[in-house]
Amino acid sequence: MGKIDGFLEYERKVSAAVPPRERVENYNEFHRMLSQKEQQLQGARCMNCGVPFCQSGYLFGGMVSGCPLHNMIPEWNDLIFKGKWELALRRLLSTNRFPEFTGRVCPAPCEAACTCGLQNASVSIRENEYSIIENGYQNGWICPAPPPARTGKKVAVVGSGPSGLSAADWLNKRGHEVTVYERSDRPGGLLMYGIPNMKLDKAVIRRRTEIMEQEGVRFVLGSDVGREVAADDLLDGYDAVLLCCGASNPRDLNVPGRDAQGIHFAVEYLSGVTKSLLDSELTDGKAISARGKSVVVIGGGDTGNDCTATAIRQGCKEVVQLEMMSAPPTDRAADNAWPEWPRVLKTDYGQEEASALFGQDPRRYQSTVKEFLKDEQGRLRGVIVSLLTPQTDPATGRVLMIPTGEEYEMSADLVLIAAGFTGCQSYVAEAFDLLLDERGRVRTEKFQTDIPGLFACGDIRRGQSLVVWALKEGGDAAAAVDEYLMGYTNL
C-alpha cells in the first residue's frame, strides 16, 4: 500500500451520474468519471488489511464475497495511487481479460467484502478498475498481441457471451486456433443484446472483439449451432468444442390470460430495442415499444430494472415492477454479517429514473400476477395482482411466498416478464445429446461433458449468474480444454 492512512484521510468518491430527467432522453452511458488525479486518491484508500477479502471470491451464506476472478485488487490500487497506471493495467489484465465489462456491469462483490467498509465506506474498487482499463485504451497500451506461435490445435467456441469471449481469448493466447460461433448478427451474446446500451455501450464490445479478431480469433456470425450448424460437424472438424450458449430459457408465468397480445419476455424486449438502436437509431419500427403505455414488469432483479429504464426512455405512461419477495432491510440484518454479500435495499438506475419521473418507486413487493386481462380483440388491458406473505417451510427451511387472498386490478398495455432463466435451450442439448441436471444445466466433470472433446462453461453449466462468474468460468474452462489438447496447461 502506498499511503498507510489514506482510508482515514480521503473520503470515498465515485463518478457522478447525469440527472435522471436528463439521461432518459437518450440511450448513452451516463456516468461522469473522476479525473485521473481524483481516481489516484481513491486508490490511496486501500488499506493494509492483512487479509484482502476483496479478492477472495469465497461463498459466505450461500453468496459470493469478494471477486470470483481473484483480481489482485490491493496491488493495482497501490499502483494507481503511485501513478503507475500501465503497471496497474498489467496486473489487472493478468486475472481479468475484460475489465471494461466488469467495470460497468458488475455488482462489485469485491466492494461488499472490502475491510474498509466495516467502519467506513468501502474502497471504490469497481471504478478504479474501470479507470485502469479506459486509461489503458486512451494511452494505446491495449493493442493486438497475436500469440508468437501456434499449437496446430483447433477449438470451436459456441456462443460469444462473456464466458465464450473469455475462453476464446485465453485459448487464442495459448496458441490454439479459435473459431467462435454466434447465432446473432453481432458478437457479444448477453453483453450485446441482453444489457441495454446505457449500461454497457456496444462500442465497448466492438472495440474488444475487433482486437480479438486482429489477434487471430475468428467470429462466425449468424450461425445457430444445433439448427443451422450441425453438432457433428463441429465435433468432427475441431480438436475440441466448448459450449458457452448461456441459460437462455426464460421462466414463464402459467396463469389465465397468458395468450393476451402485449405480453413479452424481457430478453425479447431488451434485445429488440438494442438491435433497432444499433441498426437504425430506432427508426425501423422493429422494436417492441412502450411509448404511451402502462407497463408492468414482472421481476425485481437487474433485468427487470433494465426493462424499467428502457420503457422510460421509450416514453411509457407509467411503469410498475412486481417483486415476489419482501423488501430487503435498509441496513444489514444480524444474520447477514460482513463479509457476506449485504442483503439490503438497493435502488438501481431504472428505479431512480422512475421515481424522478413518476414520483414514486416503481417496485411493489410481495406481489405477483394472478391473471392477465384481455379486451374483446385479445389485447392486454390489465392484470390482477395477488399479494403474498412469506412462510417458512418446516421441512426444508425455505421461505415460500403464499397468497394472502388480497387482490387488486391494475391497468396494463405492456407486460414484460423478467423472472429469470431455467437452463440451456432444448435444441442445443438434443443436438449434442447432453446430460442435464434437474435444473436444465449441462452435467460436466471439470468442464468436460460425457462426450470426449466436448466441454461446457458459463450459464449453460452453472445456471444464470453474473458476468464476472461467466468470465471466471471461461478462463477455467479454457485451462481444462488446453490440458485436454496438450496434456498440461500453463493458463
Amino acid in the structure at residue 203? A
Instruction: Classify 182 as helix, strand or coil.
Output: strand
CB 380 within 8 A of CB 260: yes
Q: How confident is the model at residue 71 (pLDDT cuts 50, 70, 90)?
A: very high
Which tens digit of pLDDT belongs to each residue from 219-248? Answer: 999 999 999 999 999 999 999 999 999 988
Place of cell 444489514: 332
**Cα radius of gyration rounded to whole Å, the chain:** 23
Q: What is the percentage of the chain residues whose pLDDT exceeds 70? A: 100
**212 and 129 share a domain?**
no
What is the C-alpha to C-alpha distance for residues 134 and 231, in angstroms, rounded to an integer? 39
- Identify residue 412 by its one-letter amino acid code: A
Query: What is the rounded distance in angstroms from the CA atom of residue 67 to the CA atom of residue 217?
Result: 27
Instruction: Dump pLDDT digits (tens) for 110-151.
Output: 999 999 988 889 999 999 999 999 999 999 999 999 999 999
CATH number for the domain that contains residue 184: 3.50.50.60
Q: Inform me whether the pLDDT recorded for 1 exceeds 70.
A: no
Whether residues 406 and 289 share a domain: the answer is yes
C-alpha cell at 94: 493478468
In the block, residue with C-alpha cell 470426449: 452
Contact assessment for residue 174 and residue 197, using Cβ atoms and an 8 Å cutoff = no
pTM above 0.85, yes or no: yes
Residues 63 and 104 in one domain: yes
Task: Tell me the residue range of the domain where 214 lies.
Answer: 154-248+422-486
Same domain assignment for residues 178 and 70:
no
DSSP letter, residue 287:
S
Indicate whether 450 belongs to any domain: yes
The answer to whether position 256 is within a domain reads: no
Q: Give the per-residue pLDDT at 47.
A: 87
User: What is the pLDDT, as a whole number, of residue 368?
Assistant: 97
Percent of the chain clearing pLDDT 90 (strictly above): 88
Q: Which pLDDT band holds residue 172 (cuts at 50, 70, 90)?
A: very high
Please give the Cα distance from 427 to 220 (Å, whole number): 20
pLDDT value, residue 155:
98
H-type alpha helices, 334-425: 349-358
pLDDT at 2: 67
How many separate domains does the chain show? 3
Q: pLDDT band for 292, please (50, 70, 90 cuts).
A: very high
* 440, 424 contact by CB (below 8 A): yes
181: three-class secondary structure by DSSP: strand
Final residue in a domain of this structure, among 417, 438, 456: 417
Say which residue the cell 411466498 belongs to.
401
CA distance 299 to 296: 9
134 and 178 both lie in a single domain:
no
Asked whether residue 17 falls in the same domain as residue 107, the answer is yes
The pLDDT, as a whole number, for residue 308 is: 98
